[in-house]
Amino acid sequence: MYECLGSQPTAWAGKTYGEIEAIADRDGSILVQPVGSIEQHGLHLPVSTDTICADALAHEGAATVADEVPIVVAPALWAGNSPYHVSFPGRIDVEFTTLVDVYAQLAASALETGFDALLLLNGHGGNHNAIGGASKAIGLEHPDVEVLAMTYFGLAAPIVDEIRESEPGGMNHAGELETSLMLHLRPDLVREDLIEGTHLDEPYTHAYDDMFVSGPLSVHRLEEEYSETGAVGDPQFASAEAGETIFEYLCGEMELLLTEIHEQTTG
């Protein structure tokens, strides 16, 4: 039996329009829209890694509050902006301004059902500015809706020093963090015999080193300048146990955030 799209209890895709309308009509209702990308993640992770992680966190986070909070998770948007991965196969990319419009139009159409809040939950660093632009456009069009946007891995910053095995720079693209999460969430998709990365070597002090730490300096480089395999960081230090710890922590932070959104939009 096919069990994928719509199989989670919080999934928009598995509900009838009447069920979606009933959730939206309740006070403090929340629509979560996961967004990701389809792009290379080294030789050991699938191209859908960003989308899988964002979608999993959206559903598990929603499940933590679903008994008290009217909430539904829209189908994940897999289209992302990844021009700096152009040297590697596997990328399905959308131009930046088009992507902002796509996010804004899809979310706006979903909001017509009557939700009180929208959270764009992003799993791809290259989408950060796009979800920011889309949230502003959506907010202007729907002034009565609480519109928020967040890239999930920023939530992990307080816990990583407790569990990491790599030095700073080891938790970058397809590095220790993402590989650990995938070993926990979808170990069947991780090619453990092909795990190989290149520790991030960025000469500018004020640029970022790990994916959850954004330095004040933005540096444009193609991914091939950092790594021959496309994996930037130290995925060899990843483990399913670390992935489980990180994911449970992220779910706890999502529970706090979704509860705050509900309380902010109730009444």
Cα separation of 74 and 58, whole Å? 9
In this predicted structure, what is the pLDDT of residue 207? 81
pTM, full prediction:
0.95
Ordered domains of the chain (ranges, CATH): 25-259 (3.40.50.10310)
Buried b (16+ CB within 10 A) or exposed e, 156-183: beebbeebbebebbbbbbbbbbbbbbbb
pLDDT over threshold 90, residue 250? yes
Could you tell me if 73 and 8 are in contact, meaning their C-beta atoms sit under 8 angstroms apart?
Answer: yes
How far apart are alpha carbons 12 and 267 in whole angstroms?
24
Local structure of 176: helix, strand or coil? helix
Question: What's the pLDDT band for 1 if we cut at 50, 70, 90?
Answer: low
Residue 128: pLDDT over 80: yes
**Is residue 31 pLDDT above 90, yes or no?**
yes
Residue 247 identity: F
Handedness of CA 153, 154, 160, 165 (dihedral sign): positive
Torsion of CA 150, 132, 259, 266, to 10 degrees: -170
The pLDDT tens digits for 212-229 are 777 788 888 888 888 899
- With vertex at residue 200, the alpha carbon angle to CA 249 and CA 232, rounded to the nearest 5 degrees, is 65
Gap between the terminal Cα atoms of the chain:
42
At 67, give phi and psi (nearest 5°).
Answer: -70, -25
Beta strands 146-151 and 117-122 are parallel
In DSSP terms, 151 is beta-bridged to 122
